[in-house]
A = this chain, B = another copy of it.
Amino acid sequence: MRSGSGSGRRPPRRSRVADNVVSVLSAWNDGPAKSAILDFVARVTEQGGPDFVPTDERIAVFDHDGTLWCEQPLQIQFFFAQDRLKELALEYPPLAERQPFKAFMEDDFRTIADYGKQDMFEVMLETHSGLSIEAFQRIVAAWLETARHRELDRPYLACVYQPQLELLDHLRANGFKTFIVSGGGIDFVRVFTQQAYGVPPEQVIASSLKVRCEIHDGRVQLIKESEIHLFNDRDVKAHQIARHIGRRPILAFGNSDGDLAMLRYVATGEGARLALLLHHDDGIREFAYDREFRLSALAEALDRAEEYGITLVGMKDDWKTIFSSTA
């Protein structure tokens, strides 16, 4: 029934490509951001073209909080910390009596909003240490099954952005290897990146605590200590990309000044590069914020995007759909 002069075993090449382009990035509105992405991917995959990049070197890195899923009113990991703190306070009530823990115990988000990194680290260290990585991850997995985002009224894994899922798929369909480069805790994030984004644990780079080897019941366990090994933010993101991946990526996507070093590291490599910055400017469908979000502000990257060769993506205009319906 098929027209065309081929052997009949495969559809004509041109129409297949066209089908593919029509169906990808359907949650993105047509506009400069979507065009920049489609053009970039077409250029680096064009065999024999001037910007062709071999498959091995097609590395894409994505920030996590605020880039792949919602980070308002606080990064989701803090809500996990809050629930875990309430559990721990049942066993040790004095924990609830002093700051910064008290504010979390009492849902006092006005006080929390004024906390700097040191207070927030203290909450994370208290709630993320003293047990093995494997035991910790079982707790996170159980929490994700029932916890819900209060303002968006949906499970946390349904707070991931549909346009980004499509972009990750489009990149992988074109031979890219996709990595997540998060300021969040590595043992937390890795629990769900395969399920939520199709990114396996070994392609997740993130913040980590010190660990120690202990033998329990004859098994070596890695115990999480209450001391930071590495906070994966700003320049450290570029350092860690080099240490973990060992190649300069050709595409990066972030949403805050914490991603700027990574975006510039990627944007200033040789050959074709694409650095993308998501601006949360849709207060109706999501949250509108940038420089006033104390825990992860967006200011310099926004002000100097053009100078740094960074392509802006506006959630309001560039995204047709915000949240995934399939998570």
Q: Measuring CB to CB, which residues of chain A are less than 8 angstroms from any residue of chain B?
A: 56, 59, 133-134, 177, 186-187, 190, 194, 200-204, 208, 211-213, 215, 218-220, 222, 229, 235, 238-239, 242-248, 261, 264-265, 268-270
Contacts and interface: CB of A to CB of B under 8 A. Distances in A.
Contacts of A212: 235, 239
B219 A268 contact: yes
A213 B239 CA distance: 8
Contacts of A242: 133, 211, 222
A225 B214 CA distance: 32
B222 A239 contact: yes
A295 to B, nearest CB: 22
Copy count, this protein chain: 2
Given A177-B202, A212-B235, A194 B244 contact: no
Contacts of A177: 202
Given A56-B200, A246-B204, A238 B213 contact: yes
Contacts of A186: 243, 246
Contacts of A215: 268
Contacts of A201: 245-247
Contacts of A213: 235, 238-239, 261, 265
Contacts of A235: 212-213
Nearest to A268: B219
A270 B321 CA distance: 42
Contacts of A248: 134
B194 A56 contact: yes
Contact of A211 (B203, B239, B245, B269): B239
A238 B219 CA distance: 13
A246 B324 CA distance: 26
10 contacts: A59-B202, A187-B246, A190-B246, A201-B246, A202-B244, A212-B239, A220-B238, A220-B261, A220-B265, A244-B244
Contacts of A269: 219
Nearest to A241: B222
Lowest 7 A-B CB distances belong to which pairs?
A: A201-B246, A219-B268, A220-B265, A190-B246, A202-B245, A213-B235, A220-B268
Contacts of A229: 243
Nearest to A224: B242
A202 B238 contact: no
A305 to B, nearest CB: 16
Contact of A238 (B203, B222, B239, B261): B222
